[in-house]
């Protein structure tokens, strides 16, 4: 299941979100963040259930400060949904699966 979640970096970020045919939800996370660990399994479930409709990618903020700063991420986990390469929605803080899907519904 985890194979469906892409791992992004400062170098690969732009190309990945622009080249995608479907919206991409990027998870800004870090190893030391408890709530980030909590939502990891939720994102894996969503990735496999929404395959073909939504792409999910992770960006480690410790290693990728450029992209993190560019989108003014100041709290993790932050999830940003990119549509046609542009940020369309932003979810700050850990949320349950039902709530995440509800907030994303308008874009899927």
Partner 1 sequence: MTESRQTIIVGSGPAGLTAGIYAARAQLSPLVIEGEPSSTSDQPGGQLMLTTEVENFPGFVQGIMGPELMSAFREQAARFGADYVTAKVSRVDLSSRPFGLWVGDPDTHEPSYEARSLIVATGAQSLMLNLPNEERLLGYGVSTCATCDGFFFRERKIAVVGGGDSAIEEALFLTRFADLVTVIHRRGELRASKVMQQRAFAHSKINFLWNTSVVDVLGETTVSGIRVRDNLSEEESELELAGLFVAIGHQPNTALFKGQLEMEDTGYLRTFDGTRTNVDGVFACGDVQDHRYRQAITAAGSGCMAAIDAERWLEDQQAETR
Structure tokens at 47: 């990735």
Selecting among 25, 36, 54, 81, the annotated active-site residue is 36
Rounded to whole angstroms, the Cα distance separating 105 from 108 reads: 5
Give the x-and-dash track for 72-101 against partner 1 (CB under 8 A): xxxxxxx-------------xxxxxxxx--
Query: By C-beta, is 16 or 79 nearer to partner 1?
Result: 79
Binding segment (CB under 8 A) for partner 1, from list 12-20, 28-36, 51-59, 81-89: 28-36
Decide the pairing of beta strands 78-83 and 55-60.
unpaired
- Residue 36 catalytic? yes
The owner of tokens 């542009």 is 86
Please choose, from the candidates 56, 17, 53, 64, the residue with its C-alpha nearest in 3D space to the C-alpha of residue 40: 56
Please choose, from the candidates 101, 103, 107, 87, the residue with its C-alpha nearest in 3D space to the C-alpha of residue 46: 101
* Shortest Å distance, C-beta 71 to partner 1: 12
Which residues carry out catalysis?
33, 36
Q: Under the rule (CB under 8 A), what is the footprint of partner 1? A: 30, 32-39, 41-42, 61-62, 72-78, 92-99
């Amino acid at each position: 299941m985890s194979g469906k979640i892409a791992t992004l970096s400062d170098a690969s970020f732009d190309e990945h979100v622009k080249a995608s045919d479907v919206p991409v939800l990027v998870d800004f996370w870090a190893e030391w963040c408890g709530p980030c660990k909590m939502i990891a399994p939720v994102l894996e479930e969503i990735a496999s259930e929404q395959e073909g409709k939504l792409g999910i990618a992770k960006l480690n903020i410790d290693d990728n400060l450029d992209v993190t700063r560019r989108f003014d991420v100041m709290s993790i986990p932050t999830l940003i949904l990119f549509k046609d390469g542009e940020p369309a929605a932003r979810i700050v803080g850990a949320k349950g699966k039902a709530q995440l899907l509800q907030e994303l519904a308008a874009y899927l």
